[in-house]
Amino acid sequence: MIYLDNNATTQIDPQVCEKMSSFLKNRFGNPSSLYPIGREVKESLNEARENIAGLLGAERSEIIFTGSGTESDNFAIRGVMEAFPEKDEFVTSAVEHPAVIETAHYLKKSGKKVTFVPVDQTGLVDLEELEKKVTSRTALVSIMHANNEVGTLQPIDEIVRIAKNKDVLMHTDAVQTFGKIKFDVHKLGVDLLSVSGHKIYGPKGVGALFVKKGTSLAPLIHGGHQEGKLRAGTENTAGIVGFGEAARIAKERLNKDKKRLEGLAEKLKNGIESRISDVKFNGPEKERIPTTLNFSFLKLEAEAVLLALATKGIYVSTGSACSEDSDEVSHVLTAIGLTPEQARSAIRFSLGRFNTEEDIHTVLQELPDIVRNLREISMGSAE
């Protein structure tokens, strides 16, 4: 298997797996219990919190565990809008993950004013437009750190400056950058930031929200006193322990992994561009996470390319995983100016820790033939 869909999810790291299975076998206590087997689990959660905080440059008390990146996004957005009822505006971008876009639609339905700021052809948010849309009535600006479909990295520091000039809080969805590129929440200047376990070789069903000390936030889930009374429900203890271990490993390997994967991605990009005609690279050449490559194989349906690659054991994605099972054209590719035909021919290759030179070599051997054969078939059927 050659797995090139690491933006959708990642294989669990064997060290994470080992840590979780030992924890599951030996630590069943409830972290809210005061006796030793409860306190031990509480300590394990705190160790995980420390690892996640460490990778973000945050303090341990600024990390709240959630059930996913999606929940973290919902929590940040709805939590701030509810905490500031006197402000009724929310500003975001046209290329956010559905976890943000759909939350924005929910806010709109409940009477809030929502603005989706447009992006340019590389996916960068139009800062002039953003500046116009952020007003004293805006409670929150939420712009993603890197886009999951085309990899565009947003200038978060400049966006924070615009928000702060108007005394507005700033959230970023960093699900695709956490553990992949080095950043520090306090240097970025954001008030809230979402991350997810399964994108960094950790387990699924666990995420976290960074909440800067002193930020007002209403809970999304009501009940017990867990997570500083902000997220009720007995914690997903093994998941959190796995997420913490994944963050610890990511921090340790960050520079080494980044350099190696940048090299592999560059090889794949150059190889596709030099061996296949009529391809369009989608997204920016420079300001992006290098492990995300999105290409339109013009005059082809992406699904046909995906399925042909899958028969060779090569797994990629069309658009984003979240829109994979729907007929809708990707909102991201549409927002950066692709025609519906170009968007429908787009394939995303996303590299990860377990990819090798050999993987890239094999893809570059198989892909040109697949594209050529499919184009011949489609030309034949058009005659």
Residue with CB nearest ligand PLP?
69
Residue 93 Cβ, how far from ligand PLP at the closest point, in Å? 12
DSSP assignment letter at 25: H
Residue 175 Cβ, how far from ligand PLP at the closest point, in Å? 4
Chain-centre distance of CA 381, in angstroms? 39
Radius of gyration of the chain (CA): 21
Q: Which is nearer to ligand PLP, 84 or 237 (CB)?
A: 237
Is residue 322 part of the annotated active site? The answer reads: yes
Q: Which is nearer to ligand PLP, 75 or 297 (CB)?
A: 75
Q: How many CB atoms lie within 10 A of CB 257?
A: 18
Is residue 294 a contact point for ligand PLP (CB under 6 A)? no
Please give the order of strands across the beta sheet that includes 63-66: 63-66, 207-211, 192-196, 169-173, 138-142, 89-93, 113-117
- Which of 121, 70, 125 lies closest to 93 in space, CA to CA? 125
Angle at 281 between CA 280 and CA 283, to 5 degrees: 135
Residue 254 Cβ, how far from ligand PLP at the closest point, in Å? 19
Chain-centre distance of CA 211, in angstroms? 18
**How far is it, in rounded angstroms, from Cα 98 to Cα 102?**
5
Give, as ranges, the residues between 98 and 127 that touch ligand PLP (CB under 6 A). 99
Is residue 148 a contact point for ligand PLP (CB under 6 A)? yes
Residue 222 Cβ, how far from ligand PLP at the closest point, in Å? 21
Is residue 196 a contact point for ligand PLP (CB under 6 A)? yes
Q: How many CB atoms lie within 10 A of CB 53?
A: 21
- The one catalytic residue in 322, 324, 334, 364 is 322
Q: Which is nearer to ligand PLP, 172 or 304 (CB)?
A: 172
**Out of 144, 302, 332, 343, which residue is the one contacting ligand PLP (CB under 6 A)?**
144
Q: Are strands 292-297 and 346-350 parallel, antiparallel or unpaired?
A: antiparallel
Is residue 97 a contact point for ligand PLP (CB under 6 A)? yes
**Out of 13, 173, 227, 235, which residue is the one contacting ligand PLP (CB under 6 A)?**
173
Give, as ranges, the residues between 298 and 327 that touch ligand PLP (CB under 6 A). 321
Give, as ranges, the residues between 60 and 89 that touch ligand PLP (CB under 6 A). 68-70, 73
The DSSP H or E segment spanning 90 is strand 89-93
Q: Which is nearer to ligand PLP, 244 or 367 (CB)?
A: 244
Is residue 207 a contact point for ligand PLP (CB under 6 A)? yes
Q: Which is nearer to ligand PLP, 71 or 257 (CB)?
A: 71
**How far is it, in rounded angstroms, from Cα 30 to Cα 156?**
38
Size of the site for ligand PLP (CB under 6 A): 15
DSSP assignment letter at 281: E
Residue 163 Cβ, how far from ligand PLP at the closest point, in Å? 19
**How far is it, in rounded angstroms, from Cα 87 to Cα 208?**
26
- Can you tell me which residue has the tokens 């290759």? 349
- Interface residues toward ligand PLP, by CB under 6 A: 68-70, 73, 97, 99, 144, 148, 173, 175-176, 196, 198, 207, 321
Q: Which residues have a catalytic role annotated?
A: 322
